[in-house]
C-alpha cells in the first residue's frame, strides 16, 4: 500500500519545506487515491494528507504523490535503464534550485513546488489540482489547439530563459552525464520502433505505387545521421531542455473553457541541448500537419518573443543570448530528428490508451512491443483506430519528404509561401530543387481555386545556410 512509502521523518521534511519553518508538530498522515474523472492525469497516483499542529491549531496539508511505475516489469526495466527517476529528482533537487539561486528574483512559476523524492519510488509535489490545474480539456487527448500550444511554449520559454541566465551554474549541467545522454542511443525500445517504422514505410510507399528500391538503406542512413545530431551539441547555444514535452506532461488552468495558464511536469528525460529541441518536439507531438501549415511560423515567432521577454526580465539581451539566425539554423538542423522522433512517439502514444493497456496485460506481447518489433501491433491498431491511422500516415508522409528532399525543410516553404501570398490558405503539393541547388520551386494549391496549381521559384543565395532570396 502507498501508505508504507512514507514515514514520520519524511512527513516532517515535507512539512518543513511546505511551511518554510520548523515551528510545528507532526500529527498524522494518510495516502489516498486521487479520484476525479476530470483529472485523469492523476489516475495512477495519489494524494497525501498530512495533519500538522501549528500553535494550537491543527491544519491539513494536501500534496501530490507521483509514483514511478511498478505494475509492469518490462516497463520498469525501460524506465530504470533510462534513469528517468534519477533525472527527475536531479532536476528538482539540484538543477532547478541552482538555477533559481543564480536568478533569485525570477518567478519560476512554470513548475509545481517540490517537497521530497526517493529514487525509483516517488516524488512529492504541490497538488496543482487544488489550484484548478487539469489535463488539457480536448476531445483528442494528444492534439492541442493554438491557445494550449501557445501557453506550453510560454512555459518552455521560462525554463529556457532561466537556464540561459544562470551561466554560473552551467558547469553542473554540462558535466553531468545524465544531461548529456543521447536519447536515440540509450533508448532500449528504439530498435522495436524502427522495425515498426520500416514496415509502415514500406506499406505506405506501396500504397502510393512508389518503388521499394533502397528505402530501408536510406532510412538507416537517415537514422544514423539523426543519432549523430543528438550527441552533445557544440554549434548552438544550449539550455536545460524538458526533453519529453507532450500533452500528458503539462497541466492547464482554465477560465470557463479557455486556457489561461500552464505548468510543466515529468522531467524524466531532461537534456542539455538547444532550445529548438523542446520547441519543435512540443509542436510536432501535439499538433497535426494542417495545423502546422497554418501556425508553425507564427508559433516559432511566438516562442522567440516569449523568450525575449523572459530574458528581458532577467536583464539579458536575446540578441546576445540566442540571436534569431542561430535559433533558425538550429531549427533547420534538428528538424530531421524531430520528424523521426514524431513517428516513434506516435507508435508508443498515438492510439487510444485502451489499446496499449490491452497490450500491457499480456507480458509476452508487451515485451515484443517494447523490445523486438512493434509492426504487428501497430498495424492491428491502425485497422481499429481511424484517427491513429490518419495521424501516423501524416507523420510518415513528412518523414519521407525530409528523407527525399534533404536540402531544405518543408517548414521553410511554409514561411516563404506565407510571405509571398500573405495567407496560410493553401496546400503545398510539391517542392524541389534545381539540379545545381540554386533554385527552389514550390507548387501550391490555393483554397479558392479548385484544380489549378501555382508555381513559385525562389533563388538561393547561400546554399550552405539555406538562406532564401527573392522570388524569381
Hey, is 210 helix, strand or coil? coil
Instruction: Record the cell numbers describing residue 28, joined without a space.
Output: 498524522
pLDDT the model gives residue 286? 96
Hey, is 5 helix, strand or coil? helix
CATH of domain 73-113+141-404: 3.90.1200
pLDDT the model gives residue 218? 87
Alpha helix ranges (H) inside 230-275 = none
User: Exposed, middle or buried, 84 (CB in 10 Å: 0-12/13-18/19+)?
Assistant: buried
pLDDT the model gives residue 1? 44
pTM, two decimals, is 0.93
Q: How confident is the model at residue 464 (pLDDT cuts 50, 70, 90)?
A: low
Percent of the chain topping pLDDT 90: 57
Q: How confident is the model at residue 63 (pLDDT cuts 50, 70, 90)?
A: very high
Q: How confident is the model at residue 42 (pLDDT cuts 50, 70, 90)?
A: very low
Check whether 194 has a pLDDT greater than 70. yes
Strand partners for 443: 430, 455
Euclidean distance between CA atoms 46 and 66, whole angstroms:
7
Average pLDDT of the segment spanning 386-401:
91
pLDDT the model gives residue 21? 93
**Residue 361 CB contacts under 8 Å (≥ 6 apart), including other chains:** none
Highest average pLDDT, of 43-57, 138-152, 294-308, 356-370, comes from 294-308
Mean of pLDDT over the chain: 88
- Residues 243-257 pLDDT 10s: 999 998 999 999 998
Check whether 232 has a pLDDT greater than 80. no
Higher pLDDT, 336 or 176: 336
What ranges do the domains of the chain cover?
2-67, 73-113+141-404, 410-471
pLDDT the model gives residue 408? 84
pLDDT the model gives residue 216? 82
Q: How confident is the model at residue 67 (pLDDT cuts 50, 70, 90)?
A: confident
pLDDT the model gives residue 447? 75
Q: How confident is the model at residue 37 (pLDDT cuts 50, 70, 90)?
A: low
Q: How confident is the model at residue 160 (pLDDT cuts 50, 70, 90)?
A: very high
- Residues 99-115 pLDDT 10s: 999 898 999 999 999 99
Average pLDDT of the segment spanning 161-169:
81
Cα separations in angstroms, 302 against 51, 96, 155: 44, 25, 12
Average pLDDT of the segment spanning 439-458:
83
- Closest Cα partner for 391 from 461, 294, 292? 292
**Residue 210 CB contacts under 8 Å (≥ 6 apart), including other chains:** none
Cβ–Cβ contacts within 10 Å for residue 420, how many? 15
- Residues 261-280 pLDDT 10s: 999 999 999 999 999 999 99
- Residues 199-212 pLDDT 10s: 888 888 777 766 66
pLDDT the model gives residue 436? 82
Euclidean distance between CA atoms 231 and 272, whole angstroms:
10
Check whether 241 has a pLDDT greater than 70. yes
Task: Check if the beta carbon of residue 419 is closer than 8 Å to that of residue 470.
Answer: no
Amino acid at each position: 500500500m502507498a501508505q508504507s512509502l512514507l514515514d514520520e521523518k519524511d512527513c516532517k521534511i515535507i512539512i518543513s519545506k511546505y511551511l518554510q519553518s520548523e515551528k510545528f508538530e507532526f500529527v498524522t498522515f494518510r495516502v489516498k487515491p486521487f479520484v476525479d474523472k476530470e483529472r485523469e492525469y492523476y489516475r495512477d497516483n495519489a494524494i497525501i494528507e498530512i495533519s500538522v499542529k501549528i500553535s494550537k491549531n491543527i491544519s491539513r496539508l494536501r500534496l501530490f504523490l507521483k509514483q514511478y511505475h511498478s505494475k509492469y516489469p518490462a516497463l520498469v526495466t525501460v524506465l530504470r535503464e533510462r534513469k528517468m527517476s534519477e533525472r527527475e529528482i536531479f532536476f528538482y533537487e539540484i538543477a532547478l534550485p541552482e538555477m533559481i539561486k543564480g536568478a533569485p528574483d525570477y518567478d519560476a512559476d512554470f513548475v509545481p513546488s517540490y517537497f521530497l523524492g526517493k529514487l525509483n519510488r516517488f516524488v512529492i509535489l504541490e497538488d496543482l489540482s487544488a489550484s484548478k490545474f487539469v489535463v488539457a480539456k480536448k476531445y483528442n487527448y494528444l492534439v492541442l489547439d493554438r491557445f494550449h500550444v501557445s501557453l506550453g511554449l510560454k512555459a518552455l520559454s521560462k525554463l529556457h530563459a532561466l537556464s540561459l541566465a544562470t551561466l554560473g551554474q552551467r558547469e553542473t549541467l554540462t558535466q553531468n552525464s545524465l544531461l548529456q545522454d543521447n536519447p536515440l542511443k540509450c533508448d532500449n525500445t528504439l530498435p522495436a520502433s524502427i522495425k515498426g517504422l520500416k514496415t509502415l514505410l514500406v506499406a505506405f510507399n506501396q500504397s502510393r505505387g512508389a518503388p521499394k528500391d533502397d528505402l530501408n538503406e536510406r532510412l538507416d542512413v537517415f537514422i544514423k545521421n539523426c543519432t549523430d545530431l543528438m550527441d552533445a551539441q557544440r554549434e548552438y547555444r544550449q539550455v536545460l531542455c524538458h526533453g519529453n514535452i507532450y500533452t500528458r506532461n503539462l497541466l492547464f488552468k482554465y477560465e470557463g473553457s479557455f486556457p489561461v495558464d500552464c505548468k510543466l511536469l515529468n522531467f524524466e528525460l531532461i537534456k542539455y541541448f538547444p532550445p529548438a529541441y523542446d520547441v519543435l518536439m512540443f509542436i510536432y507531438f501535439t499538433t497535426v500537419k494542417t495545423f502546422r501549415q497554418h501556425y508553425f511560423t507564427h508559433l516559432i515567432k511566438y516562442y522567440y518573443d516569449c523568450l525575449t521577454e523572459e530574458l528581458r526580465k532577467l536583464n539579458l539581451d536575446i540578441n546576445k543570448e540566442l540571436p534569431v539566425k542561430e535559433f533558425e539554423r538550429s531549427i533547420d538542423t534538428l528538424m530531421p530528428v524531430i520528424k523521426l522522433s514524431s513517428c516513434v512517439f506516435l507508435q508508443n502514444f498515438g492510439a487510444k490508451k485502451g489499446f496499449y493497456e490491452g497490450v500491457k496485460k499480456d507480458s509476452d506481447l508487451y515485451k515484443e512491443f517494447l523490445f523486438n518489433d512493434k509492426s504487428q501491433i501497430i498495424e492491428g491498431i491502425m485497422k481499429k483506430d481511424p484517427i491513429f491511422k490518419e495521424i501516423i500516415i501524416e507523420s510518415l508522409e513528412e518523414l519521407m519528404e525530409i528523407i527525399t528532399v534533404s536540402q531544405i525543410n518543408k517548414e521553410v516553404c511554409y514561411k516563404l509561401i506565407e510571405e509571398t501570398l500573405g495567407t496560410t490558405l493553401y496546400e503545398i503539393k510539391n517542392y524541389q530543387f534545381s539540379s545545381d541547388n540554386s533554385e527552389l520551386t514550390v507548387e501550391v494549391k490555393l483554397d479558392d481555386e479548385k484544380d489549378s496549381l501555382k508555381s513559385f521559384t525562389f533563388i538561393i543565395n547561400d546554399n550552405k545556410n539555406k538562406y532564401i532570396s527573392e522570388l524569381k
